[in-house]
Structure 1
Amino acid sequence: MSIFFKIPVEIEIRLDNEESRKHHEVKTPHGRLDRLPIYKDGESVKGVVTLRTKEGKKIDHLGVKVQLLGSIETNNDGLVSSEFLTLATELAAPGQLTHSQSYPFEFKNVEKQYESYRGKNAKLRYYLKVAIQRKSNTEITREKELWVFQYYTKLNEENKARENGLQSAPRLAKDVHSVKMDVGIEDCLHIEFEYSKSRFSLKDVIIGRIYFLLVRLKIKHMELSLIRREIVGSAPNQITDSETVVRFEIMDGAPVKGETIPIRLFLSGFDLTPTYKDVNKKFSVRTYLSLVLIDEDARRYFKQSEIFLYRDS
């Protein structure tokens, strides 16, 4: 018989306004979609815990508590979990549970310093954990995960980035100027990719142009990609995983000197995450623009440039 049927009490965790609150869909490693309620930094987390005993059962316990936890799990040299947030409140003193009982709880104005994240080798999660303490140091527990978004504005973005572990953005004065990325082979090829800025919100549009200044190679086609790079741990056990979020062809055929190709890439249509840098000294997540040229002999010439991504309200 499954141990599930041996547990004499059912634990339900319900959050205030859970049905009307916005949810975020996250794919599990097994391919299932989890719909998790979204919370913001500084927002209170409150709800009700209900304990239901099996019919005719009486449960002796040594206390009931609820915790709000924030943890980072990394898998670079074995699975390691560390907590950066631990809040707890007692729901019930030691006693006996003879019928269904409900207990309201509230964690006020909780500082949630990082955004939730699920990657290949790193996971940052916030969750509620209810524990019924029993004799012999055994517990009956139930968890409920939340999803936290961090929102940034142009005014507080740079300061928040430093405080919360995100990569610092370029200063506003610098962001007025365009950014240039060169791909070149001496006396054979010189291409300049110019785009409007290096800092983008997740709903933004990358606008730019590609200039062909020197073309003496037989270019077959050209691609532009967005690459997400997850870096977990530190040397010598550091693991880097790169994922191409989107790749599309921007040219098919041989260009000529002086030709210009306009670029317009809408970011809102892709599954992107904000930029993180050394979150709690555990992991980083960065995004790169990658320009790739392929010649008629299938040789590849490429250049990557990092862009800073943030979530706005």
Structure 2
Amino acid sequence: MNHLGKRDTLLELSGVVCKQNFFSSFTNPCSIEFELDNCQNRKTIQVTSEKSKTEKLFVFVGNEPVSGKVHINLKDKSKKLQHQGIKVEFVGQIELFYDRGNHYEFTSLVRELAPAGELVENKTFTFDFMNVEKQYESYNGTNARLRYMVRLSIARNYAPNLTKENDIWVINFNKPPEVNSNIKMEVGIEDCLHIEFEYNKSKYHLKDVIIGKIYFLLVRIKIKTIHNKFSVKYFLNLALVDEDDKKYFKQQEITLWRRGVSKPLQTNNNQSKIEAPPTQEVPEPETSGDESD
């Protein structure tokens, strides 16, 4: 009986060892670090994620190149890291927080860094994404976000792929619009209400002031409040509320643009700066005295 019991114990211990070895094969065998070029004095912006975690992102302007190095450091140098290929991607995507499984990628560039093989020591790869079109500005909102990132992927056969993402923040400067017509609209209810409203233009830079007029041509209802506002979707909304709390809406799309600068944008520490790329035409600042939008 003692002999059998000892045998059972050995089998049980052997099973524990096998189980530990099985799960250890899925642990992360390396650390991945990004080092972007020309970021010693680059301006940063603090962004809060959906989990209330804050991080500082480097700010890139327009079609600036995104280049740098990525360091892969083995945690256990006595073990090899076998892989099916290593690649780096520059990705622009829109994420909806209520639909986390689906991301819309509007920009995707790939650079193959290494074919299938094995890593036996720490490795550093360089990458360069030149003249990358960044059509949209970065956005971080309550229900959605638009993000740009550099992503490293290490493909593996019998274990999950290893990935690491490094986000950047993108802003775009624009020239003043050549055509900027005013907005005229009407809203009404037959025999009860007829209102005309007018805004002085349809395209506004980010520090602009929206000026408009409202003409009450016919009012046979009692209006309690008037709300005049624009949303992050760049629509100008007119809302009327009568004494019975009935609401009347009228909506008009507008354009928001970021005014260019002719000199560096200074930060509060170390005189860091960002400049528009030399290949990008940047208009002279307006006479209002502010340096940036």
| Structure 1 residue identity aligned to 2:34 | I
Superposition pairs of residues 1-313 of structure 1, within 5 angstroms: 6-62=27-83, 63-73=85-95, 79-92=101-114, 96-118=118-140, 123-136=145-158, 138-154=160-176, 172=179, 175-176=180-181, 178-228=182-232, 286-313=233-260
Per the normalisation by structure 1, the TM-score is 0.62
Larger radius of gyration: 2
Native 8 Å contact 1:290 1:304 kept in 2: yes
Gaps of 5+ in 1: 156-170, 229-285
| Structure 2 residue identity aligned to 1:12 | E
Q: Which runs of 4+ in 1 moved over 6 A?
A: 1-5, 75-78
For 1:237-290, what per-residue CA distance to the aligned partner results, in whole angstroms no more than 9, with x for missing partners? xxxxxxxxxxxxxxxxxxxxxxxxxxxxxxxxxxxxxxxxxxxxxxxxx42222
Higher strand share: 1
Measured in 2, the distance between the counterparts of 1:34 and 1:87 equals: 25
What is the percent sequence identity of the aligned residues?
43
Per the normalisation by structure 2, the TM-score is 0.66
Match of 1:232 in 2: none
For 1:94-143, what per-residue CA distance to the aligned partner results, in whole angstroms no more than 9, with x for missing partners? 55544433322211222233333455665543221112334447532211
RMSD, matched Cα: 3.4
Report deviation, 1:206.
0.6
Measured in 1, the distance between the counterparts of 2:88 and 2:64 equals: 18
| Structure 2 residue identity aligned to 1:221 | T
Measured in 2, the distance between the counterparts of 1:78 and 1:88 equals: 23
Measured in 2, the distance between the counterparts of 1:153 and 1:4 equals: 55
More moved, 197-206 vs 286-295: 286-295
More moved, 68-77 vs 20-29: 68-77
Q: Figure out how many residues of one structure are paired with residues of the other and give that number.
A: 238
Gaps of 5+ in 2: 1-19, 261-293
Measured in 2, the distance between the counterparts of 1:3 and 1:193 equals: 68
Match of 2:15 in 1: none
Measured in 2, the distance between the counterparts of 1:3 and 1:18 equals: 37
Native 8 Å contact 2:25 2:159 kept in 1: no
Q: Evaluate the alpha carbon distance shift between residue 143 and residue 182 of structure 1 in structure 2; reply closer, same or farther with a 3 A threshold.
A: same
Q: Evaluate the alpha carbon distance shift between residue 142 and residue 217 of structure 1 in structure 2; reply closer, same or farther with a 3 A threshold.
A: same
